[in-house]
Chain A
Amino acid sequence: MRAVDAIMECLKAEGVEVVFGLPGGANLPTYDAFVDGGIRHVLVRHEAGGGHAAEGYAKATGKVGVAFATSGPGATNVVTPIVDAMMDSVPTVFITGQVRTDLIGTDGFQETDTLGITMPVVKHSFQIRSPLEIPRAIHEAFHIARSGRPGPVVVDIPQDLSRAEIEYAPITDLHLPGYQPTIEGNSKQIRQAAKAMASARRPVIYAGGGVVNANASHELVEFATSDRFPVTCTLMGLGAFPAPHPQWLGMLGMHGTRTANYAMDEADLICCIGARFDDRITGKLSEFAPHAKFIHIDVDPAEISKNIPAHIPIVGDCRHVLKKLVKEYRGLEGVDPGRTDEWWQKIRGWQEKHPLGYTDSTDAEIKPQFMVQALYEATGGDAIVTSDVGQHQMWAAQYYHFNQPRRWINSGGLGTMGFGLPAALGAQVGCPDQTVVCIAGDGSIQMNIQELATCAQDKIPVKVFIMNNGYLGMVRQWQELFWEKRYSHVDMGSFPDFVKLAEAYGATGMRFTDKATLVDDMKAALAIEGPVVVDVRVTREENTYPMIAPGQPARDMVG
């Protein structure tokens, strides 16, 4: 068969249901194979949209997301999604077309060094040099993308090689001698961790996106409730621990709750599970959690002791390690259940004194925080929520209380504006029976708004709620707080008219401006068939609080 038909067979053997992409010259043969290939293809309007859609699909379903792009500009357009997937450990495979082998190196039309450009930002990549390598490369790409610490893998296939005749048989004997992720976790270390947790008087569990990736939420709850361990999650980990739980402290980090950040600051033992002590978590590194010892569980050994030296390092898959940790912990004798009483008293004191809150308007004006609360109510707290990047993202994280994993899909590490809409599209394709909403900013949404056409054409019924304050809000906030309110190029006015724009794209457009009817209005919007864009006009200058100012320690939170 043709190599391109073998690609389709490889994808099917890997369980791929859908590919997001856009054809071009260098991947014409591959697109010919889609005609009879038996794999759904969603035609996006920009390759970046395709890449983020693959990420949204992967984050919502836990399966590998796949995006196709042509050579040159097609490939450079997926660079942002590739970096995004690397930063947030999203299992994705990007298959890019390349110019014919005789043109490589000649600055041919639409030629670019895709492998070179993406090398610093991929988990791994393959440059195909013979058509015979194609099936193996694709199978290895999927294996690498989904195992260990997940991430993006690029397979770059020259156009002429993809047309060659090859024989295809499914490949099961992968040969990757340099790639053997540690999954199980060292039993001795796990026992040490259990013992340390049992003697801690001020313990905190700090869980991240690794728990979601490893499908370890159940095990996390089991571990936390083996005693009364307080739990906080990173932005990426939200939903890994149910928000209504009595042991839940809220999100931590720059815009986390005071309780979560204060608890980290005063803890004597922090158990970090699938997180990486990012600067948005630690604030000033030298003053981070000054009284704490650290247990660090991560499938990627390079994360352990990278920013914070670990006292008990455990390399392994979060689910496997947590299972063993629960067993060890429950098997311990002489654990004093009352030792954390004083700690909990302190935590309850913080929670009482510093609940998340804001001053609501006295008229019809919609506060952005209120908007998220209204959406929570309108969706019954049961939607998959994607977001773009900025103030709206932080308010969504704070006020939409996620109680299940894979319900909160956003761009954390890279902070990619324009992520939300295509990610929602991908999530909806992966989860057709769920309500998928995108909370966007009026700045962010415009960075991939062309994907509304994809939603309209493919009847992908995502509901986009634009938190419209007419500003690049987070930048405006920083200019207000740290640059003496010298606003520089953050005012976006009231352009475009999102209602008209939505209609032009074949979606339904709506505009909400009244607080009193907002929940009902949102319910009405959610009930509409097909994609909907709602322009929600909110307070123009509202700040996201609380906040750890950049480079400051957590205990000095403001707002």
Chain B
Amino acid sequence: MAIMGEPGTKDLLSLDELEAAGNAHSGRKHILSILVENKAGVLTRIAGLFARRGFNIDTLTVGPTEDEQYSRITLTFDGAMHSVDQVTKQLHKLINVLKIRDLEPADTVARELALFKVAVEGPQRAEVMQISEIFRGKVVDVTRRSVIVEVTGTTDKIEAFERMVRPFGLIEMMRTGEIAISRGRGET
């Protein structure tokens, strides 16, 4: 049965059947993978665009790619606050932006690296080291009153580790923000 107003049919369109597209807020976190020309000022253009359009960036990482002409920017933002449609369309208007992918969480491997400097004394050190082991973290520096632990993983895992070590006395935490790559053979 032909649906009324389908392209290719002679029927006219019922206005009631039309549904608005775009501009919807997804309500979840989005990871955008943006391939840009490796030129001076590109990051400023992207950061400036977010600032003037009132988009909040949660995390942002920039790095080289397998091709030196291009850089990869991975940024995350909250889809409850901004329409992903509008964010990607505005980004596409930048001449130096080549490709943008809104990565599907299920088809993506996302990782973040974090360094935790934890205050420890006496028996607490062993306890922190034990927790680190469970999280497959690595102790990279030890002093009489502190340890530095390196943890890699998803944002959830890093946040869980933070909750575990915070009670010991978290002196400092440094996080890189997420990088992400699509699963499978195809390019991100």
> What are the residues of chain A within 8 A of B52 when measuring CB–CB?
120
Verify if A214 is at the interface (C-beta below 8 Å from B).
no
What's the minimum C-beta distance from B115 to chain A, rounded to whole angstroms? Answer: 32
Check if B41 sits within 8 Å of A309, measured CB to CB: no
Closest B residue to A175 by CB, please name it.
B37
Check if A309 sits within 8 Å of B18, measured CB to CB: no
- Which residue of the partner chain, among B11, B41, B94, contacts A115 with CB atoms under 8 Å? B41
The 28 sampled A-B contact pairs (Cβ below 8 Å) are A116-B44, A119-B44, A119-B45, A177-B98, A178-B37, A192-B5, A192-B13, A196-B5, A196-B15, A199-B5, A199-B14, A302-B89, A302-B92, A302-B93, A304-B22, A304-B89, A305-B22, A305-B23, A306-B23, A306-B89, A309-B21, A309-B22, A309-B24, A311-B19, A311-B20, A312-B18, A332-B10, A335-B12
A34-B126 Cα distance, complex, nearest whole Å:
77
The listed residue with most B CB atoms (<10 A of its CB), out of A120, A176, A294, is: A120
CB neighbors of A among B36-64 (8 A): 36-37, 40-41, 44-45, 48-49, 52
Check if B15 sits within 8 Å of A269, measured CB to CB: yes
> What are the residues of chain A within 8 A of B21 when measuring CB–CB?
305, 309-311, 313
What's the minimum C-beta distance from A96 to chain B, rounded to whole angstroms? Answer: 15
A335-B11 Cα distance, complex, nearest whole Å:
10
> What are the residues of chain B within 8 A of A116 when measuring CB–CB?
44
Check if B92 sits within 8 Å of A127, measured CB to CB: no
> What are the residues of chain B within 8 A of A177 when measuring CB–CB?
37, 98
**Chain B, 1-41, contact with A by CB distance < 8 Å: what is the 0/1 string?**
00001010011111100111111100000000000110011
Also in contact, A268 and B15, with CB within 8 A (given A310-B21, A311-B20)? yes
A129-B39 Cα distance, complex, nearest whole Å:
11
> What are the residues of chain B within 8 A of A313 when measuring CB–CB?
21-22
**Chain A, 86-116, contact with B by CB distance < 8 Å: what is the 0/1 string?**
0000000000000000000000000000011
> What are the residues of chain B within 8 A of A334 when measuring CB–CB?
10, 12
Verify if A179 is at the interface (C-beta below 8 Å from B).
yes
Q: Which 10 A-B pairs have the closest CB atoms?
A: A305-B22, A309-B20, A195-B13, A302-B89, A311-B18, A199-B12, A305-B23, A196-B13, A124-B95, A178-B98
What's the minimum C-beta distance from A72 to chain B, rounded to whole angstroms? Answer: 20
A141-B92 Cα distance, complex, nearest whole Å:
18
Verify if A218 is at the interface (C-beta below 8 Å from B).
no
Verify if A198 is at the interface (C-beta below 8 Å from B).
yes
Verify if A188 is at the interface (C-beta below 8 Å from B).
yes
Verify if A36 is at the interface (C-beta below 8 Å from B).
no
Verify if A445 is at the interface (C-beta below 8 Å from B).
no
Verify if A144 is at the interface (C-beta below 8 Å from B).
yes
Check if A195 sits within 8 Å of B5, measured CB to CB: yes
A115-B48 Cα distance, complex, nearest whole Å:
12
> What are the residues of chain B within 8 A of A195 when measuring CB–CB?
5, 11-13
> What are the residues of chain B within 8 A of A451 when measuring CB–CB?
none
Check if A199 sits within 8 Å of B95, measured CB to CB: no
B residues contacting the other copy or chain, number (CB 8 A): 36
Check if B89 sits within 8 Å of A301, measured CB to CB: yes
- Which residue of the partner chain, among A176, A293, A302, A332, contacts B95 with CB atoms under 8 Å? A176
**Residues of B with Cβ closer than 8 Å to A?**
5, 7, 10-15, 18-24, 36-37, 40-41, 44-45, 48-49, 52, 83, 85-86, 89-90, 92-98
A351-B3 Cα distance, complex, nearest whole Å:
39
Task: For the A-B complex with A195-B12, A196-B15, A310-B21 known, give 7 more contacts whose Cβ atoms are closer than 8 Å.
Answer: A119-B44, A119-B45, A123-B95, A302-B92, A306-B86, A309-B20, A311-B19
What's the minimum C-beta distance from A252 to chain B, rounded to whole angstroms? Answer: 21
Closest A residue to B35 by CB, please name it.
A178
Verify if A200 is at the interface (C-beta below 8 Å from B).
yes
What's the minimum C-beta distance from B31 to chain A, rounded to whole angstroms? Answer: 20
A residues contacting the other copy or chain, number (CB 8 A): 40
What's the minimum C-beta distance from B161 to chain A, rounded to whole angstroms? Answer: 39
A176-B96 Cα distance, complex, nearest whole Å:
8
**Chain A, 135-151, contact with B by CB distance < 8 Å: what is the 0/1 string?**
00000000010000000
Verify if A333 is at the interface (C-beta below 8 Å from B).
yes
Q: Is the interface of A mostly helix, strand, loop or mixed?
A: mixed
Verify if A191 is at the interface (C-beta below 8 Å from B).
yes
A196-B23 Cα distance, complex, nearest whole Å:
21
The listed residue with most B CB atoms (<10 A of its CB), out of A116, A192, A269, A305, is: A305
> What are the residues of chain B within 8 A of A311 when measuring CB–CB?
18-21
- Which residue of the partner chain, among A124, A302, A335, contacts B90 with CB atoms under 8 Å? A302
CB neighbors of B among A18-56 (8 A): none
> What are the residues of chain B within 8 A of A176 when measuring CB–CB?
95
Check if A332 sits within 8 Å of B85, measured CB to CB: no
> What are the residues of chain A within 8 A of B5 when measuring CB–CB?
192, 195-196, 199
Also in contact, A192 and B41, with CB within 8 A (given A124-B95, A306-B86)? no
Closest A residue to B22 by CB, please name it.
A305
A294-B40 Cα distance, complex, nearest whole Å:
40
> What are the residues of chain A within 8 A of B13 when measuring CB–CB?
192, 195-196, 198-199
What's the minimum C-beta distance from B50 to chain A, rounded to whole angstroms? Answer: 11
> What are the residues of chain B within 8 A of A333 when measuring CB–CB?
10
> What are the residues of chain B within 8 A of A306 when measuring CB–CB?
23, 86, 89
> What are the residues of chain B within 8 A of A535 when measuring CB–CB?
none
Verify if A388 is at the interface (C-beta below 8 Å from B).
no
> What are the residues of chain A within 8 A of B90 when measuring CB–CB?
302
Check if B20 sits within 8 Å of A310, measured CB to CB: yes
